Structure 1
Amino acid sequence: MTAGTADRTAGTDDADRRREQHGWYFYDFACSVYSTSVLTVFLGPYLTAVARAAADADGFVHPLGIPVRAGSLFAYAVSASVVLAVLVMAMVGAIADRTGRKKPLLAVCAYLGACATAAMFFLDGDRYLLGAFLLIVANASLSVSMVLYNAYLPQIAGPEERDTVSSRGWAFGYTSGAFVLVLDLVLYSGHDSFGLSESEAVRICLASAGLWWGAFTLVPMRRLRDRRAAARAEDGPHGGGTVGAGWRQLVATLRDMRRYPLTLSFLLAYLVYNDGVQTVISQASVYGSEELGLDQTTLITAVLLVQVLAVAGALGMGRLAGTYGAKRTILGSLAIWALILGFGYFLPARTPVWFYVLAAGIGLVLGGSQALSRSLFSHLVPRGKEAEYFSAYEMSDRGLSWLGPLVFGLTYQLTGSYRDAIVSLVIFFGLGFVLLARVPVRRAVAAAGNPVPKRI
């Protein structure tokens, strides 16, 4: 091959990689609207109101005959959704690595979640069971889809650019979330002028998030590409059924991960502190509406502020990681998270300005702590096992993040105070800080057989 031919080939490879990266960003752009408009803003307070409409004189609903305080239903449904995801995501990750076909699996998960979200338009009256069911399906689908989405990162970005690429993905997601929240705010605040009731406006906002998710998933479906799976000795000469092989590979993955104890140590730390992050995201609107007495317009505006600042926070913390390393930057963000929760506990009721201050603090650390955790983990994954290991990561990210909502819901059920529920989450950030600080990340990267970046 001549030098000129080599140059042209390298240029083509770079262009193809950038094309895939841009397509990859757009899945964050597509699905983040669910996380913001549905999970963070509208569904918590709305589903709680629907459950209260169906509650008995003591304020309890009885799904499957189990007495549940109406105010705890949303938190319990979130916990149930991530438990369901645990049962599915590791198998899906193993199947993706075995077959090399991440993209069709990503499409199935994305469109199942998008359809469940769009169906939330029919959530009205006292249909709290329908709302809980759709939440469980949509949230579990998102979690499983993120296994496949995150597994592309090591394949489309080199070691030195992963912090940047991961941060840009989060920035794309927060940008779309902010844009759609502006539209939601216009619709909700002016629902009378549009000839809609408040309930109809909320249901349109919920359903439109599903339509957005489905529409923009078409971009990564066109630009991402599957890689041929490497042959595995454990496959045998005839392979075997895909589902059965997936379960066998899951067992093999769990055994294999014991060979990388430092990777497991990071996952444990991430499991703990991210459980706190996910719970704050999902329960903030319930806290604001039920404990602080804030109206829906204030909540939408506050989450919009989070989205705007999270873009700057994700990009800014990505730059800080380039100077101080991802681990140190994440540790700093965890300390700020703990301070934010302490501040939230003492917030006076019916004072939107202080809730906006709280939202600003969350926005500045939210995107960066998540983006840098994802890129840091990508360095700890043995090559050729991306989807399998990212399924374990996604268990930590979403699939095992059931304990925080459960603690939040139980604390409220036992005390009747959302302030006690919110401050109970501090333990997740404190313990996560200690566990992460003990992980020697440079040794962990080398132990996984990957090149060690200059700063990590």
Structure 2
Amino acid sequence: MGTDTVRERAAEEAAERRYEQRGWYFYDWACSVYSTSVLTVFLGPYLTSVAKSAADADGFVHPLGIPIRAGSFFAYSVSASVILSVLVMPLVGAAADRSGRKKPLLAAAAYTGAAATTGMFFLDGDRYLLGGFLLIVANASVAVSMVLYNSYLPQIAPPEERDAVSSKGWAFGYAAGALVLVANLVLYTAHDSFGVSEATAVRICLASAGVWWGAFTLIPLKRLRDRRTTSPSGTSTSVHGWRQLAATVRDMRRQPLTLAFLLAYLVYNDGIQTVISQASVYGSEELGLGQSTLIVAVLLVQLLAVAGALGMGRLARTYGAKRTILGSLIAWTLTLGAGYFLPANAPVWFFVLAAGIGLVLGGSQALSRSLFSHLVPPGKEAEYFSAYEMSDRGMSWLGPLLFGLTYQLTGSYRDAIISLVAFFVLGFVLLARVPVRQAVRDAGNPVPDTI
């Protein structure tokens, strides 16, 4: 009877874990539409066109009196959003670990971002400053929410399940992005049939991503559960946050191999995030491709990223997450290098490039997340994932800044895109030097058979 009771309890715990995991997947389903439809497809070219309509005779806009080439405004806005994220994410991660109340913080971040994205419907005429403001708020919000979302992974999946669970989460996100992009493509290409202008169709696509984000966030908020901890009284949450941040930094200095992984991830992910956010600008401004072509290309990325995330998850079970990520960085380098030589007005070759990106995009991100989860000391998930998210989104301002500066200095988006190869090469070298098995042991976690 005792054995039966243990088995029944184990089965109940497994069922509860699956219930939470399925809810966890749906936050990727909710927020990835922002990353796809807004950040990757529509906002870059559209905000650039709005900035150009507000530019002076020399092609410059002047936010806060600073002369900025209109074509660089979007990239600079992305960098500004990331700097804001750096200030907020560590506080949120530390507060979540101290209080154990992740769900209210996740809800606040998600609905702030969803509201800002929905507000992009009002971005028209020469309102480039409004567009920049809404981008900064939405991008910072999604970064903060991902700190909390990612920190659930070690709690809802044992070590042997994390590669698969993380990969499924990314696959859910890319599937949602593909589904919404199909609807976007129909509206954009047939906007006359719907009785709206092209610009209005774009604004509807932007706003609908915010509505989708807010609606589907209800599912993880219902299914995920807080693991409450005690918090000393008499001190404000912000003071706790700063104290915990300082403690986290000191603690991470005692985990040098975890820091080494974060440094490698910071570098190569900076390149990934910049490609995601600037590819549509490169396609429209340098290659002369229309918005419909860009939508189809990103749709191709989304569809192949689902297969890529799941396929690389299977590869990781055989070859380990580290080796699989290293292989993806080689593929990123070759693909980006090929992008420099793409001929203008040649959609087919752009689709080939999109296919290459799609096959490695989801897997490289999913496996990086699951690999890092093994390097986190137990009980410090949110604060360590705030550092991870700073490497993911919070420190990914160097790439957009380099991209924007290169274009501002050279006037060539080809020069801007090829400059990003350095991030993948350096990231490969840094990751190859990290002994991940020793890093897992040093963090106090069991070492999986394959990692």
Q: TM-score range by the shorter chain?
A: over 0.9
Q: Tell me if 1:83 matches 2:83.
A: yes
**Contact 1:118–1:206 (CA<8 Å) still a contact in 2?**
yes
- The code of the aligned residue for 1:387 comes to A
Shifted more, 27-36 versus 244-253: the winner is: 244-253
Matched, 1:332 2:331: no
2:156 aligns with 156
Pairing 1:195-206 to 2, within 5 Å after superposition: 195-206=195-206
Q: C-alpha distance in 1, partners of 2:326/2:64?
A: 42
| 2:398 is the alignment partner of 1:373 | no
1:219-234 matched pairs, under 5 angstroms: 219-229=219-229
After superposition, residues 255-404 of structure 1 pair within 5 angstroms as 255-404=250-399
Residue 125 of structure 2 is aligned to residue 125 of structure 1? yes
Q: Deviations over 1:57-78 (max 9, x none)?
A: 0000000000000000000000
Does residue 168 of structure 2 align to residue 168 of structure 1? yes
Instruction: Find the counterpart in structure 2 of residue 49 from structure 1.
Output: 49
Partner AA of 1:136 in structure 2:
I
Deviation at 1:6, TM superposition (A): 2.1
1:389-416 residue CA offsets vs partner (Å, 9 max, x unmatched): 0000000000000000000000000000
Quick one: which amino acid aligns to residue 98 of structure 2? R
Note the alpha carbon deviations across 1:202-238, whole angstroms, 9 max, x for none.
Answer: 0000000000000000000000000022x5xxx76x4
Q: Which amino acid aligns with 1:342?
A: G
Asked if the contact 1:47/1:128 (under 8 Å) is kept, the reply is yes
Contact 1:239 1:245 survives alignment (8 Å): no
Matches within 5 A, 1:177-216: 177-216=177-216
In structure 2, the partner of 1:108 is 108
Report what 2:16 is aligned to.
16
Confirm or deny: 8 A CA contact 1:89 1:395 kept in the other structure: yes
**Aligned-residue CA RMSD (Å):** 0.8
In structure 2, the partner of 1:70 is: 70
Q: Does 1:137 align with 2:132?
A: no
Post-superposition offset of 1:239: 5.7
Q: SS state of the match for residue 347, structure 1?
A: coil
Indicate the percent of aligned positions where both proteins have the same amino acid: 79
The alignment partner of 2:125 has SS state of coil
The one-letter amino acid paired with 1:131 is: G
Preserved CA contact (<8 Å) 1:86 1:399: yes
Tell me the secondary structure at the aligned position of residue 381 of structure 1: coil
Determine helix, strand or coil for the equivalent of 2:447.
coil
Distance 1:156 1:177 in 2: 24
Q: How much has 1:3 moved relative to structure 2?
A: 2.6
Q: 1:241 and 1:9 mapped to 2: Cα distance?
A: 40
Which residue of the partner structure matches residue 415 of structure 1? Answer: 410
Aligned equivalent of 2:6: 6
Whichever residue aligns with residue 197 of structure 2, its letter is S
- Equivalences for residues 238-253 of structure 1 within 5 A: 238=233, 240-253=235-248
What secondary structure does 2:409 align onto?
Answer: helix
Distance 2:234 2:171 in 1: 41
Instruction: Give 1:442's aligned residue.
Output: 437
> How far apart, in 2, do the equivalents of 1:239 and 1:324 lie?
50
| Mapped partners of 2:49, 2:372: distance in 1 | 39
Aligned match of 2:424? 429
The code of the aligned residue for 1:151 comes to S
Q: Distance in 2 between matches of 1:203 and 1:345?
A: 30
Q: Does 1:96 align with 2:91?
A: no
TM-score, length basis structure 1: 0.98
3-state DSSP class of the match of 2:268?
helix
Q: CA offsets per residue over residues 144-190 of structure 1, 9 Å max, x none?
A: 00000000000000001100000000000000000000000000000
Q: State how far apart, in whole Å, the 2-side matches of 1:97 and 1:70 are.
A: 42
1:453 matched to 2:451? The reply is: no
Aligned-pair CA distance for 1:344: 0.3
For 2:268, the aligned partner's letter is Y
Q: TM-score, normalised by structure 2?
A: 0.99
CA deviation digits over 1:76-103, x for unaligned, max 9?
Answer: 0000000000000001000000000011
- Extract unaligned runs of 5+ from structure 2: none
**Alignment length, in residue pairs?**
451
d(CA) in 2 for partners of 1:287, 1:423: 11
State the Cα distance separating 1:326 from its structure 2 match.
0.3
For 1:426, the aligned partner's letter is V
**In structure 2, what residue type is equivalent to 1:409?**
G
CA-CA distance at 1:2 after TM superposition = 2.6
Q: Distance in 1 between matches of 2:14 and 2:304?
A: 31
Give the Cα–Cα distance (whole angstroms) in 1 for the partners of residues 240 and 186 of structure 2.
50
Give the aligned residue type for 1:436: L
Structure 1 residue 242: Cα displacement? 1.7
Counterpart residue type for residue 373 of structure 1: S
The code of the aligned residue for 1:15 comes to A
The residue type paired with residue 355 of structure 1 is: F
Alpha-carbon distance between aligned partners in 2 of 1:268 and 1:70, rounded to the nearest angstrom: 32
What is the distance in 2 between the residues matched to 1:203 and 1:218? Answer: 24
